[in-house]
Amino acid sequence: MLSMTSDSLSSTVFMSYFKNVIFSAVIIGIGAFSVAEAHAEVLDKQVPASHEYADDNYIDVYSNPKQFDPIEPFNRAVYKVNEGIDNVLFKPLARAYRAVVPTWGRDRIHGVLRNLGEPVVFVNAVAQGDVKHSFTTFWRMFFNTTFGLGGMFDFAEQVGLNYRQEDFGQTLGVYGVSSGPYLVIPVLGPSSVRDAVGMVVDFFVDPMTYINDDTVYISYKAVSVIDEREHLLDLTDQIEKVSFDRYATVRSLYLQSRDSAIRNGKLIEAP
């Protein structure tokens, strides 16, 4: 009897984690896509011709694409599938969400979701040895959870505690781990070997992973996906209009933005 109970419990735990992995795959994919594109406008401002990044691993995505994308035919095929899924599912949902929920409401929802993700940022800031950002993130969580009503309002930003995303892929990069080959993962989207490992670690670091109520967890992930995709609508529409090769554009933005994120946007004068 005890054995059956133990087996049943193990099965329940396994299925719970399996469901979490499936739904996390979707949100991670949108998150990865957001990393690829959200920095598009700032990259041009961050990388003037007279500067270069702080080490010799700066990613020049134009001079030799095969160096960092050795399986490009496979990646392009997966990208097309992902793009099709986005066109028939994520994008229509995001447009409907924007049409129904006013800007004020969307901003409040986005703030709550970002606040729920701050523990992952905090753990990675600590792992990177970034004392200043660790304290910033800790106090952001405190102020926004209390005075900001769970993150609905970014009270912390009003007192100079600005948000900065951190994840385990960046943490590995800080310690000199190469990004490895560029990857486009089914559903998950743009990534690299290093960042794929980082996604797995962050999944287990995230306290939200351990929600036992499937309805709550699924609702949280679904809202997160729609929120992230809505934030990207204008930028992705612009890319579709001006880019002759959307795959190459997303790849370039992703690799450069990840490279910049690892350095927190810091540049040095070229020798």
Q: How confident is the model at residue 188 (pLDDT cuts 50, 70, 90)?
A: confident
Give the pLDDT mean for 31-55. Answer: 41
Q: How confident is the model at residue 235 (pLDDT cuts 50, 70, 90)?
A: confident
Burial class (CB in 10 A: 0-12, 13-18, 19+), 103: exposed
Whether 12 has a pLDDT exceeding 90, the answer reads no
Residue matched to tokens 């809202």: 223
pLDDT tens-digit series, residues 253-264: 899 999 999 988
Q: What is the pLDDT of residue 68?
A: 86
Instruction: Output helix, strand, coil percentages for the chain, rounded to the nearest 5.
Output: 70, 5, 25
Residue type, 261: A
Q: What is the pLDDT of residue 7?
A: 53
Whether 226 has a pLDDT exceeding 50, the answer reads yes
How many CB atoms are located within 10 Å of the residue 125 CB? 23
How many Å separate Cα 38 from the centre of its chain?
10
Q: What is the pLDDT of residue 264?
A: 85
Min mean pLDDT across 22-26, 56-60, 138-142, 200-204 is at 56-60
- Residue 159 to residues 144, 154, 162, Cα–Cα distance (Å): 11, 9, 9
If one compares 67 and 83, the residue with the highest pLDDT of the two is: 83
Whether 261 and 65 have beta carbons less than 8 Å apart is answered as no
What is the value of pTM for the model shown? 0.79
Residue matched to tokens 């554009």: 249
Whether 122 and 138 have beta carbons less than 8 Å apart is answered as yes
pLDDT tens-digit series, residues 87-146: 999 999 999 999 999 999 999 999 999 999 999 999 999 999 999 999 999 999 999 999
If one compares 130 and 65, the residue with the highest pLDDT of the two is: 130
Residue matched to tokens 């943490």: 171
Residue type, 270: A
